[in-house]
């Protein structure tokens, strides 16, 4: 064995390549968030609907919102009396909805808060909050159970004895199915067993406590404990039904009409609001507010029939100390005299909702009375009595003086909203990023399409523009999606102010390409671009678009040519006929809605899924002309959820507006994403557990003909380790992206993948197995309701949006992920001599303590003859040495493993399975998991034979936090084709590399035949010269010196280059065809 314990190797090769790693410039491998990219948080405006006045004059806003639009807060926010935000109050953001609240005394609050798990309702709980908004751990958070995915608690009332009444649409409470519609809690949160279970038909929407402790309940009730009623009943203080009360003399206007509010006068008479008919017969007066006697009969001395002339609906109401009643009726606020007549001294404020254009009438929902007679109003409105155009000055809350005029001193300081994240995004060549959103965000972004600067901040100067003002940017256009076109421009689509779909072609700088035909009347919701530049328009999940497309054009999928003109294209009639169901007279009776284009193949064929009247989803492939591709094995999926609704739609065939009598049926798409691999195979991701009978939890690969590829085995696939699954609730994969190394980056609602922990993000090997070395750079927020997005960008980075967080990045977010596995493999070809002229390659493994990098190192010789190398090394041997020059692994002939050092068992099978096995049995290979540090691979010929050889190193663990970093190779450089060639692969994203060719300075290390003058070329995979140098001071002197990487001899060559992903070689020759020992070094700066 050769002795390499010499200063030549230890003091030079390892010292040189170790210098940069020791400086701290090395980065962990795999994927990591771009530390220089910090996108803002985004939210869409959403009106709060409910306001609650607190005893200290502060107030709460809550119901649908889960944040403020300008900062993360929570589902309930507190404000000072003047409308400014109280930042000392912070509610747990895990809860996304609060539907009811009540003061608890001592500054505490009771709230009904709902938590969602992976977008589905997980738990609705009654919580008590401390004055700062934190959850009071001394109060038991009991769970409410209801009929559906919506919150079920509508009202919370606190009794004088501190017990708590909870009313709503629930069927169980604290796991007890006998607790139906109303329950009473002790002050510690446990159920009060002395309050009898109540059985209700309908749901309880409103409640009130009488002074004697009895409880009035109202809603859509038809009976309580088996006794019929017209929507209101009274319970005794112990929960039993009060038989002395029987509501009579009125009916609710319809079965869906609810008793919305109840109040009790000092004399015991009862005020109800809703939509009532008093008496019987068609002439019976309709009232929004009525009064009952203490026994439940209608008080005939009270009538609100003349308050408004139109059909009226009462909402919240409050009683003034003088006995007058202030009530929300329809879209304004009225004060009634004690006999029910309108108090004409109270002005009806004009309440508007400017979230629509033009503004429409707003809806007050809640009322609270100040001690001075003023009113706090909460609801679905933006403005009250604006002096001119609506300005959103009263976003969901206003204060009204005692005479009905607006208290102009009170304005809202913030907007409530709902969290969101970009739904479409595209990184540009200059490092900026275009983003659009499914909803219109606030603060507003021009045309709802923004540009983020390279550091992630919003570019306030960017806006879409057009030289022709009559095109698609007119009439309130708001972008909701963008797709990159082959020519580098973008297809941008969205809606106008009337909700009509609109699109255009936009350049990266935001200017419209007016040569692109636009404003065709094709109804669509989503778009996709084919490799040839054609654009597909799909009706998606919108009932109206589905009806228009299938009825007017006979297709749910349209196509534009690359110039924007409509292409003749349509799907088979069976798809249309399965989605829009008509009777024999052609009248619309039913719809099945759901169409999705998954991918367009390079040959123009289309993967398409759709939902039809059989109640199943079909996955098919269409030919480029839209016909079914009979060579593809299609499949069907039974939906795991199915929803019937009755939206109002316009039927263009019959020119009528209607609700389809047999409903509109929808379900969740089973396939959510697809990737066409370069070999034509198809990877599908989604919410399924099997595919054509083959177990496949969220991920499956198909052959090009649509049959299952059995060589792709994901095992247990997407799994939960902390969440309980069911037949309709299970982990899914929502996005897949192909990495440069052929692996798949997948995102989803999983907590593990085939037994390996994975927080909603992992990588999958080409054979379907999970990459166990992958360290997730971000974690899925399982309580978020924001949709995820994932896509690889042209620069090799990935953009990840939605419910993900990372260090310093809160969910929801837009995160840029860098593939920090800079080097995929290293290789050097050089004549292999004897003694000090053997081939030596040094390299660094960089990474955090405790990490390892699994690599394969090979010594190639005889197989080089096939590439025209006449003196190929006949039989190479291989050794790996660590930084202390200890031999840690050896091999001679790869099929014969030499156990010892890092090698504990036979490796021949693993080498063969890697697809990187040498092609000649006499060549050597070693697989080793190396800790961070400096290493050398030494190649020599058996029995000191000589010839041209090649040493290379391959990364087998791209997901590891460790990486292959700087490397250097030393050897004998000779004229002609016996130059030194060092090859390497840059993966995924551009890097900056410093390459040096060292020669004359080697004499200081005792090398007598050092190359006297070096030249250096960096070539790409096509052989083109990227950059070259002879004498480092002649070109990039300043840049090299600023990095401290300048050679010590002026005759040595060096260069610095930022190079994109690809294959490269650094070629070193002696100037004037001189011979001698030389070293090539490659340092990766980025």
User: CA–CA separation, 1021 vs 331, rounded Å?
Assistant: 71
The confidence score (pLDDT) of residue 440 equals 92
Q: What is the spatial order of strands in the sheet that 416-420 belongs to?
A: 67-68, 416-420, 42-45, 441-442
The confidence score (pLDDT) of residue 116 equals 93
The owner of tokens 């792709």 is 712
- Model confidence at 4, pLDDT cuts 50, 70, 90, reads very low
Contact yes or no for 979/971 (Cβ under 8 A): no
- Tokens representing 692 are 């054509």
Reduced to 3 states (helix: H, G, I; strand: E, B; else coil), residue 536 is: strand
- Model confidence at 822, pLDDT cuts 50, 70, 90, reads low
User: CA–CA separation, 682 vs 620, rounded Å?
Assistant: 13
User: CA–CA separation, 713 vs 770, rounded Å?
Assistant: 10
% of the chain surpassing 90 pLDDT:
74
Q: Is 346 exposed, middle or buried (0-12, 13-18, 19+ CB in 10 A)?
A: buried
Does residue 830 surpass a pLDDT of 90?
no
User: CA–CA separation, 644 vs 646, rounded Å?
Assistant: 7
User: CA–CA separation, 379 vs 351, rounded Å?
Assistant: 10
Q: Regarding predicted confidence, which is higher, 281 or 198? A: 198
Reduced to 3 states (helix: H, G, I; strand: E, B; else coil), residue 125 is: strand
User: CA–CA separation, 24 vs 122, rounded Å?
Assistant: 45
Mean pLDDT of all residues in 994-1001: 93
The owner of tokens 């090769």 is 13
Does residue 958 surpass a pLDDT of 80?
no
Does residue 2 surpass a pLDDT of 70?
no
- Model confidence at 12, pLDDT cuts 50, 70, 90, reads very low
Q: Which helix (H) or strand (E) holds 931?
A: none
The confidence score (pLDDT) of residue 387 equals 87
Q: Provide φ and ψ at 485, rounded to 5°.
A: -95, 155
Kindly report, residue by residue over 808-820, the tens digit of the pLDDT: 899 999 999 987 6
- Tokens representing 800 are 């990840």
The confidence score (pLDDT) of residue 823 equals 59
Reduced to 3 states (helix: H, G, I; strand: E, B; else coil), residue 117 is: strand
The owner of tokens 């004897």 is 834
Mean pLDDT of all residues in 488-494: 96
User: Is the sign of the CA dihedral 654, 659, 663, 667 positive or negative?
Assistant: positive
Contact yes or no for 510/465 (Cβ under 8 A): yes
Kindly report, residue by residue over 895-923, the tens digit of the pLDDT: 999 999 999 999 999 998 887 899 999 99
Q: Between 3.30.450.80, 3.30.420.40, 3.40.718.10, 2.60.120.380, what CATH number should domain 7-30+824-1084 receive?
A: 2.60.120.380
Does residue 157 surpass a pLDDT of 60?
yes
- Model confidence at 149, pLDDT cuts 50, 70, 90, reads low
Taking every pair of C-alpha atoms in the chain, what is the biggest distance, in angstroms?
Answer: 119
Question: End-to-end alpha-carbon separation of the chain, Å?
Answer: 38
Reduced to 3 states (helix: H, G, I; strand: E, B; else coil), residue 942 is: helix
Reduced to 3 states (helix: H, G, I; strand: E, B; else coil), residue 1051 is: coil
- Start-end ranges of CATH 2.60.120.380 in the chain? 7-30+824-1084
Q: Provide φ and ψ at 112, rounded to 5°.
A: -100, 110
Q: What angle do CA 18, 1074, 1018 make, to 5 degrees?
A: 50
The confidence score (pLDDT) of residue 843 equals 85
Q: What is the spatial order of strands in the sheet that 947-955 belongs to?
A: 924-930, 853-860, 947-955, 823-832, 980-986, 1062-1070, 1014-1020, 1025-1029
User: CA–CA separation, 648 vs 1043, rounded Å?
Assistant: 67
The confidence score (pLDDT) of residue 977 equals 83
Best-predicted range by mean pLDDT (549-553, 975-979, 988-992, 1073-1077)? 1073-1077
User: CA–CA separation, 975 vs 964, rounded Å?
Assistant: 30
Contact yes or no for 1077/837 (Cβ under 8 A): yes
DSSP string for residues in 800-820: EEESEEBTTBPSSEEEEEEE-
User: Is the sign of the CA dihedral 11, 17, 23, 24 positive or negative?
Assistant: negative
Ranges 381-390, 975-984, 1009-1018: which has the least confidence: 975-984
- Model confidence at 251, pLDDT cuts 50, 70, 90, reads very high
Kindly report, residue by residue over 175-202, the tens digit of the pLDDT: 988 898 999 999 999 999 999 999 999 9
Kindly report, residue by residue over 226-249, the tens digit of the pLDDT: 999 999 999 999 999 999 999 999
Q: Cis ω on the peptide bond leading into residue 127 (within 30° of 0)?
A: no
User: CA–CA separation, 184 vs 142, rounded Å?
Assistant: 11
Contact yes or no for 514/464 (Cβ under 8 A): no
The confidence score (pLDDT) of residue 35 equals 83
Q: Provide φ and ψ at 836, rounded to 5°.
A: -80, 0
Does residue 741 surpass a pLDDT of 90?
no
Kindly report, residue by residue over 304-339, the tens digit of the pLDDT: 998 987 778 999 999 999 999 999 999 999 999 999
Q: Cis ω on the peptide bond leading into residue 358 (within 30° of 0)?
A: yes
Reduced to 3 states (helix: H, G, I; strand: E, B; else coil), residue 262 is: strand
**424: closest CA among 500, 490, 470?**
490
Write down the pTM of the prediction.
0.78
Mean pLDDT of all residues in 374-380: 97
Does residue 6 surpass a pLDDT of 50?
no
User: CA–CA separation, 230 vs 278, rounded Å?
Assistant: 11
Kindly report, residue by residue over 34-79, the tens digit of the pLDDT: 888 999 999 999 999 999 999 999 999 999 899 999 998 999 999 9
User: CA–CA separation, 1057 vs 108, rounded Å?
Assistant: 62
Kindly report, residue by residue over 630-676, the tens digit of the pLDDT: 999 999 999 989 999 999 999 999 999 999 999 999 999 999 999 99
Write the CB contacts of 11 (distance below 8 Å, at least 6 apart in sequence): 1005
- Model confidence at 23, pLDDT cuts 50, 70, 90, reads very low
- Model confidence at 837, pLDDT cuts 50, 70, 90, reads confident
The confidence score (pLDDT) of residue 274 equals 96
Does residue 836 surpass a pLDDT of 90?
no
Q: Which helix (H) or strand (E) holds 451?
A: strand 449-452
**Range 698-715 burial, b when 16+ CB lie within 10 A, else e:** bbbbbbbebebbeebebe
User: CA–CA separation, 192 vs 207, rounded Å?
Assistant: 18
The confidence score (pLDDT) of residue 413 equals 86
Does residue 437 surpass a pLDDT of 90?
yes
**580: closest CA among 526, 627, 649, 639?**
649
Does residue 720 surpass a pLDDT of 60?
yes
The confidence score (pLDDT) of residue 889 equals 96
% of the chain surpassing 70 pLDDT:
95
- Model confidence at 959, pLDDT cuts 50, 70, 90, reads low
Contact yes or no for 569/559 (Cβ under 8 A): yes
User: CA–CA separation, 900 vs 119, rounded Å?
Assistant: 52
Q: What share of the chain is helix, strand, coil (3-state, %, to 5)?
A: 5, 45, 50
- Tokens representing 318 are 């409050």
The confidence score (pLDDT) of residue 389 equals 85
Mean pLDDT of all residues in 587-605: 97
- C-alpha distances in Å from residue 556, one per residue of 204, 253, 669: 43, 40, 16
Mean pLDDT of all residues in 459-488: 94
Q: Which residues does residue 837 pair with via DSSP β-bridges, in sequence order?
A: none
The confidence score (pLDDT) of residue 17 equals 36
- Model confidence at 989, pLDDT cuts 50, 70, 90, reads low
Does residue 171 surpass a pLDDT of 50?
yes
H helices of 636-720, in order, are: none
The confidence score (pLDDT) of residue 8 equals 36
Kindly report, residue by residue over 697-709, the tens digit of the pLDDT: 999 999 999 999 9
What is the separation of C-alpha 977 from the centre of its chain, rounded to a whole number of angstroms? 53
Strands 980-986 and 991-998: unpaired
The confidence score (pLDDT) of residue 853 equals 87
Mean pLDDT of all residues in 85-108: 96
Q: E strands of 593-645, at which residues?
A: 595-600, 606-611, 617-622, 635-637, 643-645
């Amino acid at each position: 064995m050769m002795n390499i314990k010499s200063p030549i190797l230890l003091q030079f090769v390892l010292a040189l390549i170790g210098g940069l790693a020791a400086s701290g410039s090395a980065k962990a491998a795999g994927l990591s968030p771009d530390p220089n990219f910090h996108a803002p948080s985004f939210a869409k405006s959403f009106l709060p609907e409910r306001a609650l006045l607190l005893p200290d004059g502060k107030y709460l806003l809550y119901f649908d919102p889960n944040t403020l639009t300008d900062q993360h807060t929570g589902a309930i926010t507190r404000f000072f009396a003047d409308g400014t935000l109280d930042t000392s109050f912070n509610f747990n953001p895990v809860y996304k909805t609060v539907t009811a609240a009540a003061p608890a005394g001592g500054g505490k609050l009771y709230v009904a808060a709902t938590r969602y798990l992976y977008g589905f309702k997980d738990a609705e709980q009654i919580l008590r909050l401390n004055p700062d908004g934190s959850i009071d751990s001394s109060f038991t958070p009991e769970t409410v159970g209801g009929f559906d995915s919506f919150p079920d608690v509508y009202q919370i009332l606190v009794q004088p004895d501190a017990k708590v009444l909870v009313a709503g649409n629930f069927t169980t409470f604290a796991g007890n199915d006998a607790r139906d519609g109303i329950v009473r809690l002790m002050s510690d949160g446990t159920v009060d067993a002395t309050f009898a279970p109540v059985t209700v038909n309908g749901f309880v929407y409103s409640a009130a406590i009488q002074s004697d402790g009895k409880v009035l309940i109202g809603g859509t009730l038809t009976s309580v404990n088996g006794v019929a009623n017209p929507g209101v009943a009274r319970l005794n203080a112990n929960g039993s039904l009060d038989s002395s009360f029987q509501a009579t003399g009125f009916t609710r206007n319809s079965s869906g009409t609810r008793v919305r509010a109840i109040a009790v006068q000092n004399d015991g008479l009862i005020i109800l609001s809703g939509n009532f008919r008093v008496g019987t017969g068609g002439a019976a007066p309709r009232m929004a507010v009525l009064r009952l006697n203490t026994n439940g009969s209608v008080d005939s001395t009270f009538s609100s029939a003349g308050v408004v002339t139109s059909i009226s609906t009462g909402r919240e109401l409050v009683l003034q100390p003088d006995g007058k009643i202030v009530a929300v009726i329809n879209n304004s606020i009225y004060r009634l005299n004690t006999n029910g007549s309108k108090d004409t001294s109270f002005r009806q404020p004009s309440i508007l909702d400017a979230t629509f254009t033009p503004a429409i009438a707003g809806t007050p929902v809640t009322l609270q009375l100040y001690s001075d007679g003023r009113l706090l109003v909460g609801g679905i409105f933006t403005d009250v009595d604006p002096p001119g155009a609506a300005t959103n000055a009263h976003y969901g809350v206003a204060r009204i003086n005692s005479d009905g005029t607006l208290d102009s001193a009170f304005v809202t300081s913030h907007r409530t909203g709902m969290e969101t994240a970009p739904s479409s995004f595209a990184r540009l060549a200059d490092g900026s990023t275009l983003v659009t959103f499914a909803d219109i965000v606030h603060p507003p972004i021009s045309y709802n399409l923004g540009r983020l600067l390279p550091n992630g901040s919003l570019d306030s100067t960017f806006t879409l523009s057009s030289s022709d003002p009559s095109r698609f940017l007119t009439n309130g256009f708001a972008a909701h999606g963008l797709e990159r076109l082959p020519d580098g421009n973008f297809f941008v689509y969205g809606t106008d102010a009337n909700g009509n779909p609109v699109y255009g072609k936009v350049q990266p700088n935001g200017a419209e390409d007016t040569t692109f035909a636009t404003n065709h009347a094709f109804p669509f919701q989503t778009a996709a671009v084919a490799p040839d530049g054609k654009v597909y328009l799909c009706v998606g999940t919108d009932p109206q678009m589905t009806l228009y497309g299938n009825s007017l054009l006979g297709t749910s999928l349209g196509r534009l040519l690359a110039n924007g003109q409509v292409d003749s294209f349509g799907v088979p009639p069976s798809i249309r006929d399965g989605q829009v169901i008509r009777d024999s007279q052609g009248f619309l009776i039913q719809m099945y809605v759901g169409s999705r284009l998954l991918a367009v193949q390079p040959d123009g064929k289309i993967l398409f899924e759709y939902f039809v009247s059989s109640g199943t989803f079909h996955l098919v492939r269409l030919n480029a002309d839209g016909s079914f591709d009979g060579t593809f094995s299609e499949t069907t999926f039974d939906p795991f959820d199915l929803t019937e609704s009755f939206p109002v739609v316009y039927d263009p065939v019959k020119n009528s507006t209607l609700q389809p009598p047999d409903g509109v049926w929808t379900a969740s798409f089973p396939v959510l994403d697809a990737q066409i691999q370069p070999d034509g195979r198809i990877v599908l991701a989604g919410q399924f557990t099997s595919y054509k009978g083959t177990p496949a939890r969220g991920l499956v690969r198909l052959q090009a003909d649509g049959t299952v590829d059995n060589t792709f085995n994901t095992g247990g696939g997407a799994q939960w380790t902390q969440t309980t699954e069911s037949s309709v609730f299970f982990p899914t994969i929502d996005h897949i992206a192909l990495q440069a190394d052929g692996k798949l980056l997948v995102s989803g609602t999983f907590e593990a993948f085939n037994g390996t922990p994975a927080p909603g993000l992992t990588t999958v090997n080409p054979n379907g197995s999970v990459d166990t070395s992958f360290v997730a750079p971000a974690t899925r927020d399982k309580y978020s309701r924001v949709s995820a997005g994932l896509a690889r960008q042209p620069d090799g980075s990935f953009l990840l949006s939605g419910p993900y967080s990372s260090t310093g990045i809160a969910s929801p977010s837009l995160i840029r992920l860098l593939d920090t596995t800079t080097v995929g493999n290293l290789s050097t070809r050089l004549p292999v001599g004897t003694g000090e002229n053997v081939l030596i390659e040094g390299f660094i493994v960089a990474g955090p303590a405790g990490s390892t990098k699994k690599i394969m190192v090979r010594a190639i010789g005889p197989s080089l003859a096939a590439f025209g190398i006449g003196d190929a090394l006949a039989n190479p041997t291989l050794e790996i040495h660590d930084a202390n020059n200890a031999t840690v692994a050896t091999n001679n002939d790869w099929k014969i493993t030499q156990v010892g050092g890092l090698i504990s068992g036979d490796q021949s099978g693993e080498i063969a399975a890697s697809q990187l096995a040498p092609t000649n049995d006499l060549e050597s290979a070693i697989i080793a998991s190396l800790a961070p540090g400096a290493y050398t691979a030494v190649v020599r010929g058996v029995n000191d034979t000589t010839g041209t050889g090649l040493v290379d190193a391959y990364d087998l663990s791209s997901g590891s936090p460790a990486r292959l970093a700087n490397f250097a190779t030393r050897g004998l450089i000779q004229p002609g084709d016996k130059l030194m060639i060092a090859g390497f692969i840059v993966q995924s994203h551009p890097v900056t590399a410093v390459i040096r060719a060292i020669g004359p300075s080697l004499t200081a290390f005792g090398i007598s035949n050092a190359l006297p003058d070096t030249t250096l070329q960096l070539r790409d995979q096509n052989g083109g010269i990227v950059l070259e140098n002879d004498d480092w001071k002649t070109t990039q002197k300043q840049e090299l010196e600023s990095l401290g990487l300048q050679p010590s001899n002026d005759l040595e060559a060096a260069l610095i280059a930022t190079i994109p992903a690809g294959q490269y070689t650094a070629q070193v020759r002696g100037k004037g065809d001189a011979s001698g020992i030389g070293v090539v070094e490659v340092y990766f700066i980025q």
